[in-house]
Structures are given as structure tokens and as C-alpha cells.
């Protein structure tokens, strides 16, 4: 991650499994546009409470089969026993998926849109560190985990959360992907704390291009990421002006990534929200160019 900045950066893209035919078409349109940037891997999220188990599996396998890009499956400890989770992991291994993003997960949202308190599932893996250890017992998966530069909102302290990250790495994770952040100093201070704690795996910044500012504020509130006042000022008044908002969003995210790059960051993970435009623009600004036209089959139906 601190390799010389002259090399083309390593990038990865995160998608979520589509819920409808229309969303599937828009996902595949994005994949077709992003695949030629040759990401190191892409990953597909797992809905709260395991609600997307089949769709995540289908999407991960299809992306890897049709693009040849290594695809990672997110999965969580929520709502399943160890035996059930182990069985899912084996199906991934048998399908040729070698990379998992192992998470504790959050309880499913209630009707009011708020998740309840997390309780380990009876007979399940309690926390992500336990899940990582369990997956490593199943097969030699590459495992990425989540990291929180501003601490996970439920952690009793930032030190506890850092120790938790260390436990995940000691259990076999070889990469951490951060929750999104908008203040790069927060990330660099976190890297220093990780190094001091003896965490030496890459801590890849998770980049969220802001497509909808109100939604970004809501996400940030839920996951404990701070929102700099300057960003709010920059996006203020653009709610009904999508063209300008898109240009501003690309500029803001490109500036954030260019500063990270100038300070030695080499790996970037993009929360694409299944859209390609902003991510492509930011990658361009980082010097990532299409390597080859990807032969991705058209969407069926």
C-alpha cells in the first residue's frame, strides 16, 4: 500500500446483488464499463441478515465466470449457525471462489429502518474474528475484513476496536478494507495506530463517491464516519441539479484519492453502488487506464 506512487494503483470495486431485472441490467452495464480497468478483484455484498444469500452467490459466480476478474463474496455471521455458514463457504470454494470478505454483519433493519441490537446467533460465529478463523479451517481462502478509521460505532473504545482488527488479522485475514471516510488525516492517523499495534496487512481505503449527499450523510451517521463541514457546503443547494452535483462529486472524490495517492497510497477500494461513471472518472484521475476490452457477455433476457 505504500509502494511508489508512480506505479498504476491497484483498484477493486464493490457491488451489491441486484434485486430486480432492471437493477441487474444496470449492474451489468456498470461491470462492462468497469471491467476494462482490470481491477485486482471485485466484491459483492451480503444483505443484512443473510437476506441476499442466493443473489450474492449467483452474482459473485457470474462476475468471475464472465469477466475472469477474481470475485470475492462478502458474508456475515448474522442469522445462521456455524454449520450453515461453513456449508456456504464450501459451496463458494467448490465454485472456484477463493476470496471472502468476512464480516460480523448487522441485524436486519426493522420497519422503522433501524437495526436492532446485535446478538450472536445461537450456535453461530459471534464476531468477524471467529468467522475468519472458521473460514480458514474450511479452506485456504484469501480473506479481507472490515476496518474502521473512526472506530466501529458499537466498539467500547477505539483501542478495543483496533485490538479487534488485530484479532481478525491474527486469525488469517490478509487485507482490511476501511469503512468510507472523507477526511484523509483520519485515515493516516489510523494507519499509524495500526502499525504501532503490529497490524501489517494492507489497510485499503474504502472510497465512497457521493452520488446522493443526503444519503451519504445518513450512511455516515449510521456507521460513525464524520462528514466535514466543507463537504456539506460544497454540496449545498445541488439537490435539484444532478449535472453539477455529478461534476462536484467526481471532483471531490478525485481530490480525496489524489491526495491519498500523493501520500503513498497504492490500493483503492470503491463502493460503486453499482454505478460506473464516478468510479471511472476517479480511476482516470489516478492514472488507471483500460488495459483491454473486456469480453463480457450481454445480459440474458
Q: Which of 14, 24, 66, 150 is catalytic?
A: 14
Q: Does 103 bind ligand FAD (CB under 6 A)?
A: yes
> Residue 101 CB, nearest distance to ligand FAD (Å)?
6
Say how far apart CA 181 and CA 143 lie, in whole Å. 22
CB half-sphere exposure, 210, CA atoms < 13 A = 30
Binding mask 231-250 for ligand FAD (x = CB under 6 A): --------------------
Among 34, 143, 146, 296, binds ligand FAD (CB under 6 A): 146
Contact range with ligand FAD by CB under 6 A, out of 160-168, 181-189, 229-237, 240-248: 160-168
Number of H helices, E strands in the chain: 10, 9
- All 3 cell numbers of residue 199? 497490524
Say how far apart CA 163 and CA 127 lie, in whole Å. 13
Contact range with ligand FAD by CB under 6 A, out of 17-25, 153-161, 192-200, 243-251: 153-161
Q: Does 76 bind ligand FAD (CB under 6 A)?
A: yes
* Residue 187 CA, distance from chain mean position: 16
- Interacting residues with ligand FAD between 163 and 222 (CB under 6 A): 164, 168, 177, 179, 206
Contact range with ligand FAD by CB under 6 A, out of 28-36, 159-167, 182-190, 293-301: 159-167
> Residue 252 CB, nearest distance to ligand FAD (Å)?
20
Say how far apart CA 202 and CA 103 lie, in whole Å. 17
Opening angle at CA 181, ends 198 and 225, nearest 5: 100
Q: How many residues bind ligand FAD (CB under 6 A)?
A: 23
Cβ proximity to ligand FAD: between 38 and 45 the closer is 45
Instruction: Respond yes or no: is residue 14 known to be catalytic.
Output: yes
H or E element in which residue 92 lies: helix 82-94
Cell 455471521 sits on residue:
77
Q: What is the dihedral of CA 290, 173, 52, 246, to 10 degrees?
A: -40
Q: Does 74 bind ligand FAD (CB under 6 A)?
A: yes
Annotated catalytic residues are: 14
Amino acid at each position: 500500500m505504500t509502494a511508489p506512487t508512480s506505479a498504476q494503483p491497484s483498484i477493486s470495486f464493490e457491488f451489491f446483488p441486484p434485486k430486480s431485472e432492471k437493477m441487474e441490467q444496470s449492474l451489468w452495464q456498470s461491470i462492462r464499463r468497469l471491467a476494462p480497468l482490470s481491477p485486482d478483484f471485485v466484491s459483492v455484498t451480503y444483505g443484512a441478515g443473510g437476506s441476499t444469500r442466493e443473489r450474492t452467490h449467483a452474482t459473485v459466480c457470474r462476475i468471475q465466470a464472465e469477466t475472469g476478474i477474481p470475485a470475492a463474496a462478502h458474508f456475515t455471521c448474522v442469522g445462521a449457525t456455524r454449520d450453515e455458514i461453513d456449508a456456504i463457504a464450501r459451496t463458494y470454494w467448490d465454485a472456484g471462489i477463493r476470496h471472502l470478505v468476512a464480516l460480523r454483519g448487522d441485524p436486519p433493519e426493522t420497519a422503522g429502518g433501524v437495526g436492532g441490537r446485535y446478538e450472536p446467533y445461537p450456535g453461530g460465529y459471534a464476531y468477524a474474528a471467529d468467522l475468519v478463523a472458521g473460514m480458514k479451517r474450511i479452506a485456504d481462502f484469501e480473506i479481507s475484513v472490515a476496518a474502521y478509521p473512526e472506530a466501529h460505532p458499537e466498539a467500547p473504545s477505539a483501542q478495543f476496536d483496533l485490538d479487534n482488527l488485530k484479532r481478525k488479522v491474527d486469525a488469517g485475514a490478509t487485507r482490511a478494507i476501511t469503512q468510507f471516510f472523507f477526511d484523509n488525516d483520519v485515515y493516516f492517523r489510523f494507519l499509524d495506530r495500526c502499525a504501532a499495534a503490529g497490524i501489517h496487512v494492507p489497510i485499503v481505503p474504502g472510497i465512497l463517491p457521493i452520488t446522493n449527499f443526503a444519503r451519504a450523510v445518513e450512511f455516515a451517521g449510521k456507521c460513525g464516519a464524520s462528514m466535514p463541514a466543507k463537504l456539506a457546503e460544497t454540496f449545498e443547494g445541488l439537490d435539484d441539479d444532478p449535472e453539477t452535483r455529478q461534476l462536484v462529486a467526481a471532483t471531490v472524490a478525485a481530490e480525496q484519492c489524489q491526495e491519498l495517492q500523493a501520500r503513498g497510497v497504492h490500493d483503492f477500494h470503491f463502493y460503486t453502488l453499482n454505478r460506473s461513471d464516478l468510479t471511472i472518472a476517479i480511476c482516470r484521475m489516478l492514472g488507471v487506464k483500460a488495459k483491454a476490452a473486456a469480453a463480457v457477455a450481454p445480459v440474458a433476457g
